[in-house]
Structure formats: structure tokens, C-alpha cells
Amino acid sequence: MSTQKALYLLEAKGRLAVGDAPIYNPGAGELLVKLYATALNPVDWKFIEQDVFVQFLSSYPAVVGSDGAGEVVEIGEGVTGFEKGDKVFFQGGYEPKYGTFQQYTLADAGATAKIPEGISYDQASTFPVALTAAYLGLYKGLGLAPLTAAGRGIGAYANTPLVIIGGSSNVGQFALQLAQASGFSPIITTASLKHTEFLKSLGATHIIDRKIPLSSLPSEVAKITDKSILHVLDAISLSDTQQASYDLLSHGGKLTIVLHKTLTQKEGDGKEVVHIVGVRNHPGHRELLVDGYKHWPEWVKTGLLRPSQVEVVSNGLAGIPDGLKRLQNDQVSGVKLVAHPFDPIA
């Protein structure tokens, strides 16, 4: 059996180390992809540190990593629309054969997209996880008309305010771009003010300094719009941002959160909170995501969606643990960390 290099999580809450791994055969509906870029996500360090995520990994050594971009090298039974040599991006999964912190992995062809011309593997690897969360957050969590719904989604929410907490996070950046295409106005976001021009280029109309006390968020938003706030997406979803997002919402409004719910809801206040789990096979997500994956390359080509800015970590797979520490310590601002699985290890 041919082997490859993988970054293993050796045991629950244990150490990450590079080792040999098998190259898996694609099953029905799957592709084998040679990975040239894998992006790092907060969930990757949470799989090592936080019980609520650790429970998703059922066996060790595990291979985590969920953002992949590379070249199709084998095609499983029943797959149509892909050929060997296609450049693709896709979201990985929690079993070793689907993790992206390795050199070859299996991808679900239904939730894989071809990389448009002019987009590098690094840039393409920034899409899957964060775009999935933003996409589901808006079109599932907030129940908006998808951009793909013929004649309904594009520009459908003119003169409707939307608040996105954490616009400079990768989830926030994609949410801003999608919200702009959905026509929301104003699009208000919280972020460090150094990102103001960048976030405006993605669709934000107003940036509120994320360092202000969250208790003053309602008054800051009221300076921008006197309309009811019926849509909020909290792309950060820490306990304080969840509660502030919920408190900001008007009667009848909806809030999407991207982490487990910690906020306190008041009974009978007519507000709805939806926790989005941005996993391709999560019940009720697949249809929307398969539809999304069909359209995303075209939206990248037309400029509706731009990839995140990238910082490549050094030392290939062995550079990932340091990158995850930086994410955990809140030392990454406005960019996506990306690793190259084939880069030599010092």
C-alpha cells in the first residue's frame, strides 16, 4: 500500500505529530485529492482542547483539518462532473481518511467545487469551512432566500438592516460578501477599526469598533438605523457576543450563532436563535450546500465572492501546531493561515 505523510492527533487532548499514513481509495461518490493547501480553522485546536468538540473524534490517532484544495488524482464509483487533474476545493471530515492535515485525502464529490482560473490553491483553501458557516448562517439560520433561488435571492433584502458580529473573521468576511449580494442595507459589523476600508470593500456599510463595551452596541446601532433589527449573524459567538447579539435583536428577529448556545433567552420575547453546525452531512444542510458548491465557483469568477487573504505557515504539516496555537491565542487578525502538506519539514 502506498503511504503519505499525515499530521496525527495521537490521543484525545494529546500531541500532534507527523507520521506515515495510508493513501485511501475513494469510495462511491468520492474523490482522492492530492492536497496542495489546507487552511487552519479555530475548530482544529478546539478538537484538541474543548470537550464539546473532542467528542466528535471517535478514534485515535485522528487526522483533523477541514479545508482542502488540491488536484483530483482518483475518482470513485458513480462520480460525474470531475476528471483526474481537476483543481478543486472541498470540506473535509472527522475520520482520518477525510482529514485535510495530510498529503492525500478523500473528498465528497457532492460538496466539492472546481477552482476557478486565477485563484490559487492557497486562496481556494480559504473557502470551504468559513464560507459554509456563513452560507448556512444566512440562508439556513436566518432563513433568507438563497442567492440561487431564481429571481428571489439576489438583492432581495434592500433597505433591511443586518448586523454581523466579527466582520473581519473569516466567517464574517464571507457573510459580508453574501449579505451585500442579498441586498441588505445597512450592513453593520463589529471589528478592529484597522480593518475598516477592507471590510467596506467586502460590503460592510458601517464598522463599529469591537473594543467598545458590548452594552453600548444597541445605542451605536441606533445611530446608524432606526429600523428594527430582525437579522443578526454572530460570526464570533463567544458568550458575551452571543448575549449582546440576542439583546440587540428586535421582537420577531432571528439570530444565527456558530458555536454552542450559551446566551440566556427570555421566554416569550419572540426572538429565534439558531446554532449552525457547518458540516456538509449535518441533517438538513446537504441540499443547500450541494447547491452552494455548484454556484460558488461562478460567484468567485464574477467577484461576488473573494477568497480571504492568506498567510502561509512555514514547515509544512509540522508548522500547523504553531499556527493553531496562534489561532487559539487570538493572534491572527483578518487573514487565514494556510499550510502546504508537501512542503519539506525542517
Ligand X SMILES: NC(=O)c1ccc[n+]([C@@H]2O[C@H](COP(=O)([O-])OP(=O)(O)OC[C@H]3O[C@@H](n4cnc5c(N)ncnc54)[C@H](OP(=O)(O)O)[C@@H]3O)[C@@H](O)[C@H]2O)c1
CB of residue 43 vs ligand X: minimum separation in angstroms? 5
Residue 168 binds to ligand X (criterion: CB under 6 A): yes
CB contact set of 213 (below 8 Å; sequence gap of 6+): none
Annotate 255-284 with three-state secondary structure.
EEECCCCCCCCCCCCCCEEEECCCCCCCCC
Q: Which residue is nearest to ligand X (CB)?
A: 278
Q: Which stretch binds ligand X (CB under 6 A): 117-125, 138-146, 178-186, 237-245?
A: 237-245
* Single residue of 18, 35, 258, 339 touching ligand X by CB under 6 A: 258
CB of residue 90 vs ligand X: minimum separation in angstroms? 15
Instruction: Give CA–CA dist 174/334, Å, rounded.
Output: 12
Q: Computed from CA positions of residues 238, 240, 245, 249, in that sequence, does the dihedral angle turn out positive or negative? A: positive
Cell numbers at residue 286, please? 446537504
Residue 333 binds to ligand X (criterion: CB under 6 A): yes
Site for ligand X in 188-207 (CB under 6 A): 190-192, 195
Q: Computed from CA positions of residues 254, 231, 288, 157, in that sequence, does the dihedral angle turn out positive or negative? A: positive
Q: What is the DSSP letter of 204?
A: -
Nearer to ligand X, 121 or 174 (CB): 174
* Single residue of 133, 138, 144, 147 touching ligand X by CB under 6 A: 133
Site for ligand X in 80-99 (CB under 6 A): none
Q: Is 9 helix (H, G, I), strand (E, B) or coil?
A: strand
Instruction: Give CA–CA dist 274/233, Å, rounded.
Output: 10
Residue 43 binds to ligand X (criterion: CB under 6 A): yes
CB of residue 170 vs ligand X: minimum separation in angstroms? 4
Binding residues for ligand X, rule CB under 6 A, total: 31
By the criterion CB under 6 A, which residues form the site for ligand X?
41-43, 129-130, 133, 165-166, 168-171, 190-192, 195, 210, 235-238, 241, 258-259, 276-278, 327, 332-334
